[in-house]
Amino acid sequence: MKLNLLRTLMVIVGMAGAFATPASAVVEININKGNVEPLPIAITDFVSGDGIGAKIAAVVEADLKRSGLFAPVNRAAFIEKITNPDQAPRFEDWKVVNAQALVVGRISKEGDGRLRAEFRLWDTFAGQQMTGQQFYTQPENWRRVAHIIADAIYERITGEKGYFDTRIVFVSESGPKTDRKRQLAIMDQDGENVRMLTGSKDIVLTPRFSPSRQEVTYMSFEGQQPRVYLLQLETGQREVVGNFPGMTFSPRFSPDGQRVIMSLQQDGNANIYTMDLRSRTTTRLTSTAAIDTSPSYSPDGARIVFESDRGGRQQLYVMNADGSGQQRISFGDGSTDFRSGRRVAT
């Protein structure tokens, strides 16, 4: 999930100028093919007055290489040294080293202290600029700028949205086995910028991103009472999702981010509830003497798949988003067809 934490800090503008983007470029990757040969791409150190340009270029290179779709050319093979990214490169020098695409850039500092990062992506065989953009941000956000540049390159060449400017929320464990500390944590997709979101020793489980807001839902045993929490990533503010007397667990967001679905255990039974995050009203979706748990919405939000032992053993069931039409869809064979045409593993 992409988190737009810099929307008040970063301005993105296209680079207009003498080098127009062609209607169709020679360089492209079709990711729908079964076997994709990595594209040779040269990523030069971005011109800068200090080492920040080289750092940003290194992150861009690592992102693209890690995707498996790009093969960065060894910098020791570079013939031309880019000193002015506004000028067209010597394309023959890059063809010699088989660089089918070339990335150049510049990092400078504005009068207000912000960084200005700009890059150009060239098709070396066609001799054309494919894209170019500028970004403004605070110096501490330089890694995010690099990820956004990698996303722009990835999208221009593959036609698909990039995923480098995304983050991962997870449970971090530390300390000896006899006194483990489990905290909710977040990091960039490449493992950098790790930050703890919770600080207590209470067990935290099953964190999930909201698809539409800067929020995470998770389960915590704080106060020895298992409950589902909602955490605002930008402010650190959190709240209990529903004032239920029993244990709440297995939270998931709806695809539109407007609801949280979860299980509530009372008197030895567990049923599935959903909460509207706008009105904070809750709706009970199942009502059985069984254990109904692990609910998850279908991609279109119209149906819900969940586990239940109402048939004597834990199996998969589906129902409409309002709780109607409950039916069993697994019978112990390992997988089953969901109505959307997708498969659900058991």
* Token pair in block for residue 266: 């009372």
**Distance from C-alpha of 110 to C-alpha of 92, rounded to nearest angstrom:** 34
Distance CA 232, CA 30 (A): 38
Sequence letter at residue 173: E
The span from the CA of 329 to the CA of 112, in Å, is 60
- Quick: pLDDT tens for 114-124: 999 999 999 99
User: Residue 38 carries which DSSP code?
Assistant: P
Q: Is the pLDDT of residue 305 over 60?
A: yes
Long-range contacts of 296-302 (CB under 8 A, 24+ apart): 296/252, 296/261, 297/252, 297/253, 297/254, 297/255, 297/261, 297/321, 298/338, 298/339, 298/340, 298/342, 299/255, 299/340, 299/342, 300/255, 300/340, 301/254, 301/255, 301/256
In the chain, where are the structural domains located? 11-158, 167-345
Q: Are 99 and 124 in contact (CB under 8 A)?
A: yes
Phi and psi for 32 in degrees, rounded to 5?
-85, -10
| Average pLDDT value for the chain | 86
DSSP bridge partners of 120? 104, 132
Question: What is the Cα–Cα distance from 105 to 119, expressed in whole angstroms?
Answer: 4
What's the pLDDT score for residue 338? Answer: 46
The pLDDT tens digits of the residues spanning 43-52 come to 999 999 899 9
**Can you give the pLDDT at residue 343?**
60
Q: Which among 113, 111, 93, 114 has a CA at the least distance from the CA of 102?
A: 93
- Is the CA virtual torsion 321, 288, 343, 229 positive or negative? positive
Range in 57-71, 196-210, 285-299, 302-316 with the lowest mean pLDDT: 196-210
- Comparing CA positions, the residue from 246, 261, 251, 248 lying closest to residue 301 is 261
pTM for this one?
Answer: 0.76
- Cα separation, 328 vs 53, in Å, equals 57
pLDDT tens profile 270-281: 999 999 998 988
pLDDT at 213: 86
Output the pLDDT for position 103. Answer: 98
Between the alpha carbon of residue 291 and those of residues 58, 258, 328, the distances in Å are 50, 25, 14
The pLDDT of residue 240: 87
Q: What is the pLDDT of residues 3-48, one digit of tens each?
A: 443 433 344 444 434 344 343 446 777 666 666 789 999 999 999 9
Nearest to 43 by CA among 154, 138, 141: 154
Q: Determine the pLDDT at residue 13.
A: 42
Is residue 94 within 8 Å of 126, Cβ to Cβ?
no
The SS3 call for residue 195 is strand
For domain 11-158, the CATH architecture is 3-Layer(aba) Sandwich (3.40)
Output phi, psi for 160, to 5 deg: -115, 150
DSSP string, 224-260: G--EEEEEETTT--EEESS--SSEEEEEEE-TTSSEE
Q: What is the pLDDT of residue 126?
A: 95
Domain 167-345: CATH superfamily is TolB, C-terminal domain (2.120.10.30)
